[in-house]
Amino acid sequence: MESVKRNRAHKARLDLSAAQVAVLDAQAHTARALWNLLHEYFTFRQGRFATVKDCDAAIREARREIDWMGQLPAQAAQAVLKTYRQAWANFFNPDHPAKRPAFKGRGRSRLAVDVPQARDLQITRVNRRWGAVNLPKVGRVRFRWTKDLPGLSRGGPAGRITGARLVKDACGWQVVFRTETLAEPAAAHQGPQVGIDLGITVALALSDGTMREHAPWLGKGAKEHLRRLEKKSARQRRARHRGEPISRRLARTYDQIARLRARAKRRAVDWQHRTTTELAATFGVVVVEDLKITNMVRSAKGTVANPGMNVAQKAGLNHSIAGQSWGRTVTLLEYKTSERGGQVVKVCARGTSQTCHRCGHRDGAARDGIRYACANPACGWVGHADTNAAININNAVGTPVSGRGDLGVTRSAKRQPPRAA
């Protein structure tokens, strides 16, 4: 069989000095400013979008005329142009959820710098815990070695590093290596089929009666600390007038809040990776609901003329749904089951939690919290509501997914591709 390529990413923490952090921060802000300049140049022309050639010439001219533009390596600047063009391509793709590219605000965008060519990295392993990598205009930097990278370790996976991206989060700068490996096509997975109900009280309920649950992402003390920090930031914001820059004290409070939330996210992602790996190795077919999460977490505020009801309750529900990251769970399941010869099937979610899996009787009042009691006197099944929903999801394989519309419909005028200049 012919080998297939697998493109994956590996994230590692960088060990930087204060001077190196300052250099990377300056590069990232320059990349953000370049994006904004490209967006202005690309969209504010006389009725036509600029071509790649025009944008490339504009970048070269800007690097000659603007001193601080030289802080960003030339290849990283070209990567900004490539990413910007891809953002427009995603927007014009009717099957892609991307929104229209927009300006990036200083405080609302994540700092990132691209290193598109792997030959500039010169990755080596220093010892069991650390590796070293070259970063343009920064120098030799150590990074945390947590797994063998393809093509670099004796006995490690075969493949190569194709590039890297430097990103900054609340925990500091990280390097994300882009890897490419060769693997034999997986044989068909012989495991059983299972339906999974994504929930809040129970994270994952399976149709075989088992469940996958997790502890709170933050402990009791960390939750209380986060609550106090959020109250503190609210008091500090009240002392700030509109249009004024935030104070250093408020910035420190924001940083502390961000670090706590980043800790919770790391724990959530770790649990999702471990759980989805176990599910992909056990089951050959995984059936999940085709949820429109963006629609589910919309605010209930309404308008001035038609205000919404139970706004606070809906906001709390939206926060709980967002905290479970259902979309990321399904994404991890999709590629992990595919690598093992299995598949993920999406079915319509309508009525799965209100229908009895045994007799098919549907009644919205049959579910009370986590308990489901069938209202059909001839059936009377009683059990866990999430398990009942998971069995219905598993049984729904082969039924059409409603609400999709005609796949052959033309794109709206809003998403028509631009005319070439």
Tell me if 167 sits within 8 A of 173, measured CB to CB: yes
Look at residue 81 and tell me if it is in a domain.
yes
Look at residue 418 and tell me if it is in a domain.
no
Give yes or no: residues 199 and 145 share one domain.
no
Strand partners, 182: 5
Strands 193-198 and 139-144 come out as: unpaired
At 61, the pLDDT band (50, 70, 90 cuts) reads confident
Q: In terms of pLDDT, which residue wins out, 47 or 235? A: 235
Q: Could you report the per-residue pLDDT of 264-302, keeping only the tens digit for each? A: 999 999 999 999 999 999 999 999 998 887 877 778 777
Rg (CA), the chain: 25
Give 2's contacts (C-beta < 8 A, 6+ positions apart).
185
Of 185, 206, 236, the residue that ends a domain is: 185
Of 324, 347, 370, the residue that ends a domain is: 347
Look at residue 68 and tell me if it is in a domain.
yes
Question: Which tokens sit at 73?
Answer: 């390596």
pTM across the whole model: 0.82
Q: Residue 174: its pLDDT value, please?
A: 94
Give yes or no: residues 104 and 199 share one domain.
no
* Distance spanning both ends of the chain, measured CA to CA: 45
Look at residue 30 and tell me if it is in a domain.
yes
Average pLDDT over residues 72-101: 91
Query: Alpha carbon of 189 to those of 36, 334, 342: distances in Å?
Result: 47, 14, 5
Average pLDDT over residues 64-78: 90
Look at residue 37 and tell me if it is in a domain.
yes
Q: Is the pLDDT of residue 142 over 60?
A: yes
Give yes or no: residues 312 and 291 share one domain.
yes
Q: Residue 143: its pLDDT value, please?
A: 95
C-alpha–C-alpha distance, residues 348 and 288, integer Å: 9
Look at residue 173 and tell me if it is in a domain.
yes
Q: Residue 364: its pLDDT value, please?
A: 83
Give yes or no: residues 175 and 31 share one domain.
yes
Give yes or no: residues 174 and 285 share one domain.
no
Look at residue 404 and tell me if it is in a domain.
no
Look at residue 369 and tell me if it is in a domain.
no
- CA-CA-CA-CA torsion sign (246, 249, 253, 256): positive
Give yes or no: residues 158 and 100 share one domain.
yes
Give yes or no: residues 7 and 150 share one domain.
yes
Question: Which tokens sit at 288?
Answer: 């999940």
Q: Domain span at residue 323?
A: 193-214+276-347
Give yes or no: residues 158 and 198 share one domain.
no
Give yes or no: residues 301 and 172 share one domain.
no
Give yes or no: residues 83 and 201 share one domain.
no
Q: Is the pLDDT of residue 408 over 60?
A: no
Residue by residue, DSSP assigns 224-239 as HHHHHHHHHHHHHHHT
Of 185, 203, 226, the residue that ends a domain is: 185
Give yes or no: residues 197 and 181 share one domain.
no
Query: Alpha carbon of 136 to those of 121, 144, 359, 368, 381: distances in Å?
Result: 8, 19, 65, 59, 65
Average pLDDT over residues 328-353: 90
Q: In terms of pLDDT, which residue wins out, 291 or 111? A: 111
Q: Residue 157: its pLDDT value, please?
A: 76
Tally of structural domains, the chain: 2
Give yes or no: residues 172 and 150 share one domain.
yes
Q: Residue 187: its pLDDT value, please?
A: 86
